Amino acid sequence: MRTEKFGGNGPEVPVIGQGTWYIDQGDRKRAVVALRRGLDLGMTHIDTAEMYGDAEPVVAEAIAGRRDEVFLVSKVLPSNASRRGTIAACERSLARLKTDRLDCYLLHWRGAYPLDETVAAFDGLMRAGKIRSWGVSNFDTGDLNELLAVAGKGKIACNQVLYHLQERAIEHAVIPWCEEHGVAVVAYSPFGHNDFPSPRSPAGELLQSVAAAHGASPRQVALVFLARRPSVFVIPKAGSPEHAADNAAAGKLELSDGEIAALDKAFPRGPKPRGLPML
């Protein structure tokens, strides 16, 4: 499994991790087995959030006895992101996850509370040893500039954003901003939200062809394409151990420059959007 430095000051983290949005909607035992299978195969970056229903308790069960292997991330809802509210939300997440610390804690998206309140809470949680780093999710460049002015250089670990083959808007400005400022980019919903390319479409046919040339799956190729830059990490969800194994195998796959160029042409990033796409 390829690893990259997580932000300017962070540890080496697998480029392919495990998302948990909706993981509580299916069979819980199967979800736990899938997460554990992912850990066995090197996908030790696990992302969750207080918004994700019972995902945190599912993660707690999956990482029991293995906490030190895991780069664990959770998120605070904007409605809880006051200074006191952020600290209280973190305490609740720690209890649900049955751990004493998070490796990274994110503001899920920008809300009504001033950024300086949330940042002050993050700094306090770091001093207390309850989080090791902090970041944000769904922040566009304007938001990131405001956050940088509040927090100062070297504080923002990551920005988690929507990114998949058919939604590449972050390549215009968000990824370059993050790379300039040493901020990791974490791609959520890397297969799209019920929007993975159809094998019957021209672009989908190309994806199938590249996958076949490597004895890989189209989803593995998609993950490798999205994580082709050292700054980008992907967090696909897997509801079964088989899907987890398929995702993890992408960590060993390498695409040629020609294949990347062909995929880039088949799935154009399109014009720069007026706003940041998000789910």
* Binding-site positions for substrate: 108
Return d(Cα 223, Cα 119) in angstroms, integer: 32
What would the 3-class secondary structure string for the chain be?
CCEEECCCCCCEEECECEECCCHHHCCHHHHHHHHHHHHHCCCCEEECCCCCCCHHHHHHHHHCCCHHHCEEEEEECHHHCCHHHHHHHHHHHHHHHCCCCECEEEECCCCCCCHHHHHHHHHHHHHCCCECCEEEECCCHHHHHHHHHHHCCCCEEEEEEECECCECHHHCCHHHHHHHCCCEEEEECCCCCCCCCCCCCHHHHHHHHHHHHHCCCHHHHHHHHHCCCCCEEECCECCCHHHHHHHHHHHHCCCCHHHHHHHHHHCCCCCCCCCCCCC
Return d(Cα 126, Cα 155) in angstroms, integer: 11
- 174, two tokens: 């968000």
Contact 45, 14 (CB under 8 A): yes
Which residue of the set 52, 113, 163, 188 is catalytic?
52
Instruction: Determine whether 22 is an active site residue.
Output: no
Return d(Cα 173, Cα 141) in angstroms, integer: 7
Residue entry with tokens 């199938």: 208
Please enumerate, by residue number, every residue annotated as part of a binding site: 108
Contact 121, 87 (CB under 8 A): yes
List, by residue number, the catalytic residues: 52
